[in-house]
Amino acid sequence: MAVARPLRAGRRMQRLTIDLADRSYPILIGPGLLADAREWAERLPGGPLLVVTNETVGPPYLPRLRAALGARRLAECVLPDGEAHKTLATLARVFDALAAARVNRDGGVLALGGGVVGDLAGFAAASWQRGVAYAQLPTTLLAQVDSSVGGKTAVNHASGKNLIGAFHQPCVVAADTDALATLPEREFRAGLAEVIKYGLIRDPAFLAWLETAMPGLLAREPEALARAIRRSCEVKAEIVGRDEREHGERALLNLGHTFGHAIETAAGYGEWLHGEAVAIGTVMAAEASERLGWLSRADVERVLAAAGLPTAAPRIGVERALELMRMDKKVLGGRVRLVLLKRLGEAVVTGDYDERALLGTLQAQVA
């Protein structure tokens, strides 16, 4: 039955636009978007489609997606779940599925899942036949507020996170907020780390609102969630629209990520959820900022802790941390550039900082 579920899309749906000339696309946020594709199916290419998803997300959501897309034939590629599978080897499986499904340049990919699925399926779409269209259908909070928006795609390398990838914009992002109701608590909280990030780097009023609204967010109240997701996507859309390929401002979105990626890689992919590592990394960035006399680390830590996020780093060692941070994509002339906080709501990316602030932070946090 194609209409077994109530068709609610449109009722409270919000629409934003990523403004990138001929690569512009809409972000749709609202309940029921997977069960009712009327608002976004027209954005899909006309040829064969491959849905890339994982073993956790596929079983509950594939049937409603199939029903929503009705007459369209969809091939499937169901991957194992987790960051440990965001590899070239898994990517090769997606290419095999694309070949089997005869996806050509008039076809495309649907990325149904969280950040791992979106990043990997997006890179597959970027590379298959040198680029086919794809839609992001994010089902986790982290993917809905961050990874599905902006066209960064990648897989991991043993030496670092997201080191192999492409900039490739999706043709549409459809974030079905119904999917958040069943998200495991730990994953939900991990997504809040990226939401808080937007407040920290750009919007002190949003940050203040997040702090007061945190109980409602943690209770997953729809109105609070909708506001948090919308504002997150707005900030990201603004920044990506001005700096698609991260020549400057876009690097601010990496607050907490240089430290966080090092923690994820050192601990083994999958040990920490990405959002958890970002939370810890954000505290470390705040500590380095405090050591430069810029703001109080405690103010940052308090918001993250209120979201139930970890704030203490695992003891991966100073040398290992530095080695991994040197693989960061922001390194320039051998210098690790950091995203630091001037004050709450204002971030800077800089390689021009007192080295002792970085070493002191690592000594205190990971030694």
Residues that bind its own copies (CB under 8 A): 46-47, 88, 91-92, 95-96, 99, 102, 104-106, 123, 126-131, 152, 154, 157-160, 163-167, 245, 326-334
Q: Decide if 338 contacts 350 (C-beta within 8 A).
A: yes
Catalytic residue of the set 236, 291, 329, 337? 236
Q: Residue 212 CB, nearest distance to its own copies (Å)? A: 37
Q: Residue 328 CB, nearest distance to its own copies (Å)? A: 8
Whether 247 is catalytic is no
Structure tokens at 73: 């034939």
Whether 335 is catalytic is no
SS3 65: helix
Tell me the C-alpha distance between 119 and 309, whole Å: 23
Q: Residue 237 CB, nearest distance to its own copies (Å)? A: 19
Judged by CB, which is closer to its own copies: 55, or 96? Answer: 96
Q: Decide if 52 contacts 110 (C-beta within 8 A).
A: yes
Judged by CB, which is closer to its own copies: 293, or 333? Answer: 333
Q: Residue 345 CB, nearest distance to its own copies (Å)? A: 28
Catalytic residue of the set 39, 194, 287, 290? 194
Stretch (H or E) spanning 277: helix 274-291
- Residue 256: C-alpha distances to residues 136, 267, 334 (Å): 24, 16, 20
Q: Decide if 273 contacts 307 (C-beta within 8 A).
A: no
Q: Residue 72 CB, nearest distance to its own copies (Å)? A: 15
Catalytic residue of the set 43, 85, 152, 227? 152
Tell me the C-alpha distance between 36 and 162, whole Å: 32
Whether 257 is catalytic is yes
Catalytic residue of the set 54, 156, 162, 254? 254
Judged by CB, which is closer to its own copies: 306, or 336? Answer: 336
Judged by CB, which is closer to its own copies: 87, or 296? Answer: 87
Residue of 59, 67, 53 lying closest to 7 (CA atoms): 67
Structure tokens at 254: 């990496």
Q: Which amino acid is at 34?
A: L
Catalytic residue of the set 83, 246, 264, 290? 246
Whether 301 is catalytic is no
Whether 250 is catalytic is yes
Whether 236 is catalytic is yes
Q: Residue 198 CB, nearest distance to its own copies (Å)? A: 22
The secondary structure of residue 81, as a DSSP letter, is P
Give the total residue count for the chain: 367
Judged by CB, which is closer to its own copies: 127, or 147? Answer: 127
163 burial type by CB count under 10 A (0-12 exposed, 13-18 middle, 19+ buried): middle
Judged by CB, which is closer to its own copies: 94, or 192? Answer: 94
> What are the backbone angles phi and psi of residue 8, rounded to the nearest 5°?
-110, -10
Structure tokens at 280: 């810890």
Catalytically active residues, by annotation: 130, 152, 194, 236, 246, 250, 254, 257, 261, 274
